[in-house]
Amino acid sequence: MSRNAESTAFRSALEVIRAVEPRVADAIGAELTDQRESLKLIASENYASPATLLAMGNWFSDKYAEGTVGRRFYAGCQNVDTVEALAAEHARELFGAAHAYVQPHSGIDANLVAFWAVLADRVESPALKKAQVRQVNDLTEADWFALRRELGNQRMLGMSLDAGGHLTHGFRPNISGKMFDQRSYGTDPATGLIDYDRVAEAAREFKPLILVGGYSAYPRKVNFRILREIADSVGATFMVDMAHFAGLVAGKVFTGDFDPVPHAHIVTTTTHKSLRGPRGGMVLCQPELADQVDRGCPMVLGGPLPHVMAAKAVALAEARRPEFADYAQRIVDNAQALAEGLSRRGAKLVTGGTDNHLVLIDVSGYGLTGRQAEQALLDSGIVTNRNSVPQDPNGAWYTSGIRIGTPALTTRGLGTAEMDQTAELIHTVLTQTTAGANADGTPSKAKYTLDPALADKISRQATDLLAPHPLYPGIDLS
């Protein structure tokens, strides 16, 4: 698409929106301005291409399409079939997967589909045995009653939240923590790394139905071959949530033991983050789980979003291009340069560095909580998110860490030299921020002090750093 065409497309879209609700059009334009001017370092965010964005804004949004390709509960879905089949084809080819299901609306939805697919495939209640059925759609009310009774005893073993795991891996605030009896494996207190011997020991003791690999805040590679061997040793289904690092798998930065697809029974992912697509989810699986996975809607999903599946097809097609592999490698190069720059300036990093797209800073070394650091950085034009660190004394709300990632800045074209400058900006803000106190004089985990003049200076420097790398340079809304 030419730059003139991009500008025309988005400018025209905003004119149409403005005629109905100008405040929405203003907010859309303001969001583009904010993203252009901020150093976006949230590890789970990226910038989708104009083609991907435009694929979501069309009349596919008007279609109901429950079911799967060729087996819909609504008539007139032939065009939805086309885009869903294309997205699944691109996903299979990109990841070398036997089967791909592209309907999940989010990563959480993808995980729910995976959990229920495994349960439906593996749970053998007396009622199921008597009825001689295995397909979810064939279960009677009596079957479901027996199944629900047994679900309370199902077990999941996944990475602990403070070690870098995710809420959807069996933790109480999420439905997965209510579906499963969950236990966590952590990391070595000295190194912050996964201790596979301890994972194996926990699996032997706990005997989980599902062993979950994957993370949202672990800055190192994971050996999925070893985890599959552990799962096999206890008869568990091995599931990997690769939402954060899917782009590194797609770009062949993670291969062999570090590519989850050849090793896992079932793999879930988002399609945004490092994959640089629309917000949504996806499930890849071995053939024996395909039928159950394809029942995600109506099992746990609402109607598929055809306009988002169209955008997934576009983004996955982009990821199959040779230049995506170069992009994926630059993500890791930039993350390692950012980690090195921070470490050289005295920042304390969980595991001492990174092998992937993210860096986890323990900001207690600056005398701050994660919440204080997050807000001070935001005041200075640097967008991050607070995150727990292993054995975090401040819990999951205030935290002691800041998680930063490089997918978005790499999309903008920043390189390793700019990562060192970014490290300097982050370090300056954190060293110049002091923890505040509550009204009664006790230390506050939220309040902080940062000279507004310094915050403004850093914000201008961040904008200057981004200036040679404009965001969506082909889009002019003026």
Please give the domain boundaries of the chain with CATH numbers for all domains. 60-123+150-319 (3.40.640.10), 323-466 (3.90.1150.10)
E-only strand ranges, 339-466: 358-362, 382-383, 385-387, 401-405, 434-437, 443-449
| pLDDT, position 1 | 53
46: closest CA among 475, 476, 410?
410
| pLDDT, position 143 | 66
Predicted TM-score (pTM) of this structure: 0.90
Distance CA 96, CA 255 (A): 11
Instruction: Find all residues with CB under 8 Å of 203, minimum gap 6, and list them.
Output: 157, 211, 230, 231, 233, 234, 236
Q: Is the pLDDT of residue 410 over 90?
A: yes
pLDDT, tens digit, 9 for 90 and up, residues 89-130: 999 999 999 999 999 999 999 999 999 898 877 654 444 454
**8 Å CB contact between 47 and 273:** no
Q: Count, in order, helices (H) and strands (E) of the chain.
A: 20, 16
- Pinpoint the alpha helices (H) of 192-272: 196-206, 224-233, 246-250
Residue 178 has which token pair?
A: 């209510």
Q: Is the pLDDT of residue 292 over 50?
A: yes
Chain-wide mean pLDDT for the chain? 91
- Evaluate the omega torsion of the peptide bond into residue 298 and state whether it is cis, within 30 degrees of 0: yes
Average pLDDT of the segment spanning 162-166: 76
Q: Tally Cβ neighbours within 10 Å of residue 82.
A: 15
Distance CA 29, CA 23 (A): 10
Catalytic residues: 64, 66, 241, 270, 273, 279
Instruction: Label residue 163 by pLDDT band (50, 70, 90).
Output: confident
**8 Å CB contact between 299 and 129:** no
Helix axes 22-37, 3-20, angle to 10 degrees: 140
Q: Which residue has the tokens 């032939």?
A: 78
**8 Å CB contact between 204 and 231:** no
Q: Is the pLDDT of residue 346 over 80?
A: yes
**8 Å CB contact between 252 and 95:** no
pLDDT, tens digit, 9 for 90 and up, residues 353-386: 999 999 999 999 999 999 999 999 999 999 999 9
Distance CA 443, CA 459 (A): 28
pLDDT, tens digit, 9 for 90 and up, residues 36-81: 999 999 999 999 999 999 999 999 999 999 999 999 889 999 999 9
**8 Å CB contact between 160 and 358:** no
Average pLDDT of the segment spanning 181-203: 92
**8 Å CB contact between 366 and 428:** no
Q: Is the pLDDT of residue 205 over 60?
A: yes
Average pLDDT of the segment spanning 178-191: 86
**8 Å CB contact between 102 and 87:** yes
